[in-house]
């Protein structure tokens, strides 16, 4: 039996483990990336490990999230990250150079290489045939230090594409259709591989849009073959030597095959407040809109921007609509300026933002109260935009631009503009915002620049013999990392300051959560299915750690968040019988008697409810390595002990 493309890449980077789905495998990591919202903590962790220089083939530190500088905090973080990069052997992408995933695709991504990043949308690299995965900052720090990255061996799903997209139907509609089919938890424990004759009709930016939003499926990663289309893209970037052909074996076996006829696909939108709440735009109807935002790591490529500019040329944005456009990189913005497309956008009334994440993470451009915002982004979680009662719809750039002119949600296939866009034979190559590290022999001369807002990694302790604590919070299904540790312009500047950040933890679910945790001293959180979906931000584990959360007991976990809980030394526990979730109330006193010894011996674990007198069978489903991490009190302690 042949190998799928995902299996081939895992096999070629396998350090240890069995490639049977469900077992743990360790992978050699070729490249890493960080961004500034998660990067400060990752480099504090790297510093704590005591490794002098990164040991990967390439590591890049990007500044793209916290670029709104309304105080010293973000600027201090950027200075700290820049000094770490210079000293420890990383390339540093300065503010203004662009969004990490867009820039990495353009300038650094290599087919067949492994990449992990402290951002959940790192699978964007799968658009050129990388095995690219989101991870917690501590996992990235370990990989930078030469350690392996551990995942559960995934199943492989094939999405077989046939035909060709009609004009005004976009790659965004393909991934929205996959989300409609699989849901936000349908990709957990799986790699989504794309194949079929329809793949040849998709450009690299279109492929990257699809792999980017694979994160919303909960997938380990998503991946496209590396073919002549990939080669042409890399050649245009001046990197043809990086190209290799990558294809699955003809007799590869998949756990599931999903067929999508591109000819029959229609424009789609994800309605509030979840990326899998997908409907046809024609069925939603011409709802009034207040705002349109085009950009993010999902849809900010030159390919997307040129289509938007064509639609806007000679037109005017509707009076009731605020249109904001954020190109994904300096390269994209420069090329738009040189070819006149930027002028078309500005003349139509668009507000041009810097090449950064911006409104996707609530960093500016919050809609008006009860406003409706169409966004080409990847997430529409409630409150993420910065406006709690806004309705956020996820759409393609084509739908966004056509609707901005009409003033209502509009099926873009009704537009008559010729949308033919040819990818350039060569891109504008200008890497002057990429700073290089000093040579290894000069690293001692570089001083790490700390700011007063940068606080140390929370202290962790080895796992206690038993855990007894209140269920300080009980939440439902599909709790996101935005629920646990929000984004937004008011909070993101404090990602380097866990003590200050702690006051915002779970505020959307329970405004008193932080105070209740401090009052109790230690706590347990109870949750539903797919707990921790969304961002890779390890702050959603580190802040609960700081607040004394000892265990999280749920129906099921999202992949990255479960790993982050383990890395923080917090027990990730699942109910054997999901209906037992209903038998626990917030405020109940819960006990995991003898949990340390039971983890060591592999004995069955029972959760005791001291308040009701009931007991429930539960499981701490971790590998032997993760068990040892939990016993040590987290990955940082474990790494130091096993250095």
Q: Flag whether pLDDT at 585 surpasses 90.
A: yes
Residues 6+ away with beta carbon under 8 Å from 312: 344, 345, 347, 348, 350, 401, 404, 405
What is the token pair recorded at 285? 């109807």
Q: What share of the chain has pLDDT > 90, as a percent?
A: 85
- 14 pLDDT band (50/70/90 cuts)? very high
Angle between helices 36-49 and 72-88 (to 10 degrees): 50
Q: Flag whether pLDDT at 209 surpasses 70.
A: yes
Cis peptide bond prior to 272, omega within 30° of 0: no
| Least confident span in 53-67, 491-505, 520-534, 544-558 | 491-505
Contact status, residue 583 vs residue 616, Cβ threshold 8 Å: yes
CATH number for the region 467-490+497-641 comes to: 3.20.19.10
CA–CA gap between residue 318 and residue 530 (Å, rounded): 39
Among residues 106, 112, 108, 103, the alpha carbon closest in space to that of 225 is found at 112
Q: Flag whether pLDDT at 6 surpasses 90.
A: yes
What's the whole-number mean pLDDT along residues 265-271? 97
Q: Quick count: other Cβ atoms within 10 Å of Cβ 391?
A: 20
For residue 180, CA distances in Å to 117, 169, 247, 395, 532 come to 26, 16, 27, 14, 20
The secondary structure of residue 214, as a DSSP letter, is G
What is the token pair recorded at 96? 């203004």
Angle between helices 559-568 and 624-632 (to 10 degrees): 40
| pLDDT confidence of residue 368 | 94
Contact status, residue 168 vs residue 285, Cβ threshold 8 Å: no
What's the whole-number mean pLDDT along residues 52-72? 93
pLDDT digits (tens, 9 = 90+) for 82-95: 999 999 999 999 99
| pLDDT confidence of residue 352 | 97
Apex CA 366: angle with CA 478 and CA 515, to 5°? 55
Apex CA 507: angle with CA 353 and CA 219, to 5°? 65
- 636 pLDDT band (50/70/90 cuts)? confident
pLDDT digits (tens, 9 = 90+) for 589-634: 999 999 999 999 999 999 999 999 999 999 999 999 999 999 999 9
What's the whole-number mean pLDDT along residues 308-313? 97
| pLDDT confidence of residue 257 | 98
Apex CA 88: angle with CA 82 and CA 89, to 5°? 90
Contact status, residue 505 vs residue 544, Cβ threshold 8 Å: yes
Q: How are the residues of the chain apportioned to helix, strand and coil, as percentages rounded to the nearest 5?
A: 35, 20, 45
Cα 276 off chain centre by: 16
| pLDDT confidence of residue 564 | 92
Residues of the chain within CATH 3.30.499.10 domain(s) are 268-414
Q: Flag whether pLDDT at 455 surpasses 90.
A: no
What's the whole-number mean pLDDT along residues 466-481? 95
CA–CA gap between residue 207 and residue 205 (Å, rounded): 5
Q: What rounded mean pLDDT belongs to the chain?
A: 94
For residue 382, CA distances in Å to 275, 481, 506 come to 11, 12, 13
What is the token pair recorded at 315? 């037109």
| pLDDT confidence of residue 643 | 65
- 365 pLDDT band (50/70/90 cuts)? confident
Classify 99 in phi/psi space as left (phi over 0), alpha (psi -120 to 50) or beta. beta
Contact status, residue 330 vs residue 97, Cβ threshold 8 Å: yes
pLDDT digits (tens, 9 = 90+) for 178-195: 999 999 999 999 999 999
With helix as H, strand as E and coil as C, how does 418-473 read? Answer: CCCCCCCCCCCCCCCCEECCCCHHHHHHCCCCCCCCCCCCCCCCCCCCCEEEEEEE
More reliable by pLDDT, 423 or 374: 374
- 489 pLDDT band (50/70/90 cuts)? confident
pLDDT digits (tens, 9 = 90+) for 401-421: 999 999 999 999 999 888 888
| pLDDT confidence of residue 270 | 97
| pLDDT confidence of residue 68 | 84
Q: Quick count: other Cβ atoms within 10 Å of Cβ 349?
A: 17
Among residues 30, 54, 33, the alpha carbon closest in space to that of 434 is found at 33
Point out which residues pair with 98 in neighbouring strands.
Answer: 329
| pLDDT confidence of residue 100 | 97
More reliable by pLDDT, 384 or 282: 282
What's the whole-number mean pLDDT along residues 51-56? 96
Residues of the chain within CATH 3.20.19.10 domain(s) are 467-490+497-641
Q: Which CATH class is domain 268-414?
A: alpha beta
Cα 533 off chain centre by: 10
């Amino acid at each position: 039996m042949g190998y799928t493309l995902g299996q081939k890449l895992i096999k070629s980077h396998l350090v240890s483990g069995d490639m049977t789905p469900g077992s743990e495998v360790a992978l050699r990591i070729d490249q890493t990336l960080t961004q500034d919202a998660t990067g400060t903590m990752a480099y504090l962790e790297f510093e704590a490990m005591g490794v002098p220089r990164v040991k990967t083939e390439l590591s890049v530190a990007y500044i793209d999230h916290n670029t709104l500088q309304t105080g010293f905090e973000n600027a201090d973080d950027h200075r700290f990250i820049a000094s770490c990069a210079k000293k420890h052997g990383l390339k540093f992408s300065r503010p203004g150079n662009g969004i990490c995933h867009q820039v990495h695709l353009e300038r650094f991504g290599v087919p067949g290489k492994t990449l992990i990043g402290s951002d959940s949308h790192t699978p964007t690299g799968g658009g050129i045939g990388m095995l690219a995965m989101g991870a917690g900052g501590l996992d990235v720090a370990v990989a930078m230090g030469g350690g392996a990255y551990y995942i559960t061996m995934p199943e492989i799903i094939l999405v077989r594409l046939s035909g060709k997209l009609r004009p005004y139907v976009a790659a965004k509609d393909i991934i929205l259709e996959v989300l409609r089919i699989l849901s936000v938890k349908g990709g957990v424990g799986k790699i989504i591989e794309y194949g079929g004759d329809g793949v040849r009709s998709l450009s690299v930016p279109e492929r990257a849009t699809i792999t980017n939003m694979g994160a919303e499926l909960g997938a380990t990663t998503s991946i496209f073959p590396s073919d002549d289309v990939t080669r042409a893209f890399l050649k245009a970037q001046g990197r043809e030597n990086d190209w290799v052909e990558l294809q699955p074996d003809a007799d590869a076996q998949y756990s599931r095959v999903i067929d999508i006829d591109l000819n029959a696909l229609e424009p789609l939108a994800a309605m509030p407040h979840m990326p899998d709440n997908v409907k046809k735009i024609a069925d939603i109807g011409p709802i009034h809109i207040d705002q349109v935002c085009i950009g993010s790591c999902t849809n900010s490529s030159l390919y997307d921007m040129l289509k938007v500019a064509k639609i806007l040329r000679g037109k005017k944005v509707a009076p009731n609509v605020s249109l904001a456009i954020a190109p994904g990189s300096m390269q994209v913005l420069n090329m738009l300026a040189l070819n006149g497309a930027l002028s078309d956008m500005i003349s139509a009334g668009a507000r041009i933002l810097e090449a950064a994440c911006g409104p996707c993470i609530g960093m500016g451009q919050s809609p008006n109260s009860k406003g409706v915002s169409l966004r080409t982004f990847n997430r529409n979680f409630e409150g993420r935009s910065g406006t709690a009662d806004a309705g956020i719809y996820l759409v393609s750039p084509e739908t966004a631009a056509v609707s901005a002119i009409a003033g209502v949600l509009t099926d873009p296939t009704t537009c008559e503009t010729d949308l033919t866009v040819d990818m350039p034979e060569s891109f504008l190559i200008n890497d002057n915002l990429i700073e290089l590290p000093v040579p290894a022999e000069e690293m001692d001369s570089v001083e790490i620049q700390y700011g007063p807002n940068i606080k140390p990694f929370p202290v962790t302790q080895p796992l206690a013999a038993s855990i007894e604590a209140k269920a300080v919070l009980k939440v439902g299904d599909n709790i996101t990392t935005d629920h646990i540790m929000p984004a937004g312009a008011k909070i993101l500047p404090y990602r380097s300051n866990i003590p200050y950040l702690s006051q915002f933890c779970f505020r959307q679910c329970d405004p008193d959560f932080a105070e209740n945790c401090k009052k109790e001293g230690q706590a347990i959180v109870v949750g539903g299915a797919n707990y921790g979906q969304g961002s890779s931000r390890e702050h959603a584990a580190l802040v609960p750690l700081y607040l004394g959360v000892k265990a999280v007991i749920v129906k099921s976990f999202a992949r990255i968040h479960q790993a982050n809980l383990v890395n923080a030394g917090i027990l990730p526990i699942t109910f054997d019988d999901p209906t037992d979730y209903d038998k626990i109330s917030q405020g109940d006193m819960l006990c995991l008697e003898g949990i340390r010894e039971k983890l060591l011996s592999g004995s069955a674990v029972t959760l005791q409810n001291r308040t009701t007198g009931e007991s429930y069978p539960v499981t701490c489903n971790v590998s032997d390595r993760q068990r040892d991490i939990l016993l040590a009190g987290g990955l940082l302690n474990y790494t130091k002990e096993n250095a």
